[in-house]
Structure 1
Amino acid sequence: MKVIGNLDWRHPLVRLRIWVATPIQKLFAAIGLWKPARKDELECEQKDAVEAVGDRGSQLRLAYKTPRDEFTDATAIDYTPTGLAIKNGVCFARYSIRPPSTAEILKSRKIQPARTIPAGTVIEAETPYTYGDWVGDFVLALITAENIVEPLVLPKVLADKPYVLRDVNALGISYVIANETLRIENARILQKRIPSYYWGKPEVAAFRNKFNITPPSPKPGSMIYLGRFDTKSEAAQRVYPSETVARIVENLGGKVFDTREASPEKFDALAPEMETVIADQGSALFGVMHSQTKNVIELTQDDWWHSANLFIANGAGVENYAVIHLYEKSDDDLRNRIEGHLRDFGVIN
């Protein structure tokens, strides 16, 4: 269970750490040691209900109350290998890939750039830990921005992840890696314009367009299970009854896919088999953007569900979406719940 870095908010030590750090960081902000986002910049409103059934009902999309511009520009930004943006010794949250820790705030004034580049683009984000974070924040910025100043500057913490360079290369964007702190004389910051991952149809359309995805029609009656099996999460570890669900789906005539093998090419190949998708909660569900999926059943731990997949699926044209909580479900409970939703969706009799 990780306590420092990509936080698992369920862990009591994480809650304690945040409780201790919050007033200290407020004091540091008040005396000018760092510049967090202003309260009005983070304020959100709810809109655009999307329907789900099962253990979660209709969900509302979050949007910033004050819409943000595509980008802002800044001069003389020192950009660290961990993705923090520092100007005159002060860390700016709105230019960084995450808020700094208390220790990082104290070290900011001592950071010196190793070299200088004349210009480049960095991305404001909320969390930089998982593939879902990468797509939800960073890829979204790259596929919706029209004013990128190349090169894109990638912090080492991101560039070390294999899917990051894969996706940037697929988009044809030149980049440099901040293996050491870089001074960017003229920095363009692509601003985070959607809180969390509340994508809609325009965002999914942009993803499909930029990655040259033309989803084929799935085979009528096709069904696939996207199972996590022994996936080691980049965030807090989650455990799913993947073997059990695989047997249930196979008995219903569906296919099983181990998401440890997931890639854009694999989802392109699987798209004809994806009229109905049953999936463990996770970013593999982004695979519906490669298909014309009609039905989704998402399996999730009770305290680890986020509506991101629901909104992305809705943007991709999914018609029916069910959520099943896994807590204290027996094998028979799972089978009955899955079959019940499949009947409701008209998949089985």
Structure 2
Amino acid sequence: MTSYFQHAKFKVPVAHMRNVVGSFWRKSSALTGQYEPMSPSEVATVDGSPVPFRGDIPKYAGTEHQQTRKRFAEPRPLLEEVENLIATPLGGGWHDNCLFERYSSCKPGLRMLLENKVPTREVETGYVIQSEHVDTFGDWTSEYLTPLAGIANVDGPVFLPAAFAQKGYVRRDMARTSIDFQFVDAPILIKRAKVIRQQMYIRYWTPEYAQNLRRLLGAQPVSPKRGSMIYLSRHGEPSEVAVRTHPNLLIEKIVKDRGGIVLRTDDSSLEDYLAAGEHAETVLLDHGSAGYNLSYWQPKRVIEFVSDQWWMNSFLFFATSIGVPDYGIICTDQGSDDEIAKRLTDLLETPIA
């Protein structure tokens, strides 16, 4: 049974509280010269094009069936060279005894500020990916692989926070590339560091970033069989961040009754995803990192099951960036199982846009 403390309804307010608390020490540390946040101009955004969807409107998604892409107002340099950068296990990027947000591989927190930063070894050169999160496959895909995919020639080791060392999907993707990934298990002094800056605002995917990712992964999507359907069910899968609950068994039955197949993400391998591409004209998925396996498919329709307690528009932007013309959303917090089934049936029986 899922603990209440693992559920999104507990995790989300706790995350907000931690962010509020963190803002206080960041401000005070900046005043004392121990911390250098990114400037307002570096994080300012402008709106891009709206992306439509059908079905339900999530609680925090506004009032219209669309979400608007955003991008950074000022383009960032893809690479920023820094002399004598200290990279720490938690992802800190220290320069001249100051913790720099734009050189860190994870959003700076209080533990990072207090972390030991005395280097145990030195290297001549290497890459660090400026990022914010190290928790999920989605973080790895969008905040590490995607900016890395924008570098034409990675000619040195790429240093990763220690948290990634235990992630099976990181090890898997390391083995599939020729890149020299190294985990930072103790502070390292990089004499000539190359910091890869995030180009994409949060996870507001555009076709450029999605295609870069596909190229790095060597993805070769196949055309799905006409009328095929697959459901990526999170039934039985523990979340790396916060548990969300959906009527998985109900959705699985609806899909099977319509001749579709179910792929439970808890026990599916990369080979399973690759083999399932021919069954993916319509893809149903629970909101979660497994949605990035759309990289290997070319669906014509995607329907995402979301919770109002934990949702972001990342998969809407990602799917449309790989060319999916029809996107639907079902909020499983809204209504009974029968009502959810009815709304899902309506989406499935509407011709693909």
Match of 1:39 in 2: 40
- Which range is displaced more, 229-238 or 272-281? 229-238
Corresponding residue SS for 2:311: coil
How far apart are 1:9 and its partner, in Å?
A: 6.1
SS of alignment partner, residue 248 of structure 1: helix
Does the alignment pair 1:196 with 2:202?
yes
Counterparts of 1:172 and 1:98 in 2: how far apart (Å)?
24
The answer on whether the counterparts of 1:222 and 1:275 sit within 8 Å (CA) in structure 2 is yes
**Cα separation, 1, equivalents of 2:195 and 2:16:** 31
> Which runs of 5 or more structure 1 residues have no equivalent in the other structure?
none
Shift of 1:340: 0.1
User: In 2, distance between residues paired with 1:142 and 1:16?
Assistant: 32
1:162 to 165, 168, 184: 168
Contact 1:76 / 1:187 at 8 angstroms: preserved in 2? yes
1:113 to 1:67, Cα distance in 2 relative to 1, 3 A: same
The structural deviation recorded for 1:103 is 4.0
Q: Does 1:98 align with 2:106?
A: yes
Q: Give the equivalent residue in structure 1 for 2:136.
A: 130
Q: TM-score, normalised by structure 2?
A: 0.91
Return the letter of the residue paired with 2:104: S
Post-superposition offset of 1:246 = 0.6
Give the letter for the 2:128 counterpart: V
Matched, 1:53 2:69: no
8 Å Cα contact 2:54-2:328 kept in structure 1: yes
2:47 equivalent to 1:28: no
Aligned residues between the structures:
343
C-alpha separation in 2, matches of 1:14 and 1:305: 14
Residue 271 (structure 1) shift: 0.2
- Quickly say closer, same or farther: Cα 1:198–1:16, change in 2 above 3 A: closer
C-alpha distance after superposition, 1:272-300 (max 9, x if no partner): 00000111111212222211200111000
Which letter maps to 1:173?
I
Correspondent of 1:305 among 278, 292, 311: 311
Report the CA distance shift for 1:8/1:170 in structure 2 as closer, same or farther (over 3 A): farther
1:225/1:62 Cα in 2 relative to 1: closer, same or farther (>3 Å)?
Answer: same
Q: Which amino acid in 1 is paired with 2:304? A: E
Question: In 2, are the aligned partners of 1:295 and 1:345 still within 8 Å (CA)?
Answer: no
Three-state SS of the structure 2 residue aligned to 1:10 is helix
> Contact 1:124/1:189 (CA < 8 Å) preserved in 2?
yes
Change (3 A) 1:166 1:7: farther
Structure 1: distance between partners of 2:314 and 2:220: 22
Distance 2:75 2:243 in 1: 34
* Cα drift, residue 41 of structure 1: 0.6
Asked if the contact 1:149/1:188 (under 8 Å) is kept, the reply is no
Question: Taking every aligned residue pair, what percent have the same amino acid on both sides?
Answer: 30
What is residue 254 of structure 1 aligned with on the other side? 260
Specify the SS of the correspondent of 2:142.
helix
Alpha-carbon distance change, 38 to 197 in structure 1, aligned in 2, over 3 angstroms:
same
Partner of 1:224: 230
Stretches of structure 2 lacking an aligned partner (at least 5 in a row) = 58-64
Pairwise CA distance, 1:234: 1.0
State the Cα RMSD in Å. 2.2
The counterpart of 2:12, out of the listed 4, 10, 13, is 10
In the TM superposition, what whole-angstrom CA distance separates every residue of 1:154-199 from its partner, at most 9, and x where no partner exists?
2211122111122133121012221111111110000001111122
Q: Which amino acid aligns with 1:78?
A: I
- SS of the residue corresponding to residue 12 of structure 2 reads coil
- For 1:241, the equivalent position in structure 2 comes to 247
Instruction: Say which of 192, 200, 220 aligns to 1:214.
Output: 220
**Cα distance, 1:7 vs. partner?**
12
CA distance in 2, matches of 1:7, 1:31: 36
Distance in 1 of aligned mates of 2:342 and 2:203: 31
SS at match of 1:91: strand
Contact 2:326 2:352 in 1 (8 A): no
Does residue 295 in structure 1 map to residue 301 in structure 2? yes
Change (3 A) 1:296 1:111: same
Deviations 1:87-118 (A, max 9, x none): 2322111111222222432x25x521111111
The residue number in structure 1 matching 2:96 is 88
TM-score, reference length from structure 1: 0.92
Q: Give 2:12's aligned amino acid.
A: R
Write the distance in 1 (CA, Å) between the matches of 2:311 and 2:18: 23
User: Residue type matched to 1:84 in 2?
Assistant: G
* 260-269 or 85-94, which deviates more: 260-269
Instruction: Identify which of 58, 63, 66 aligns with 2:71.
Output: 63
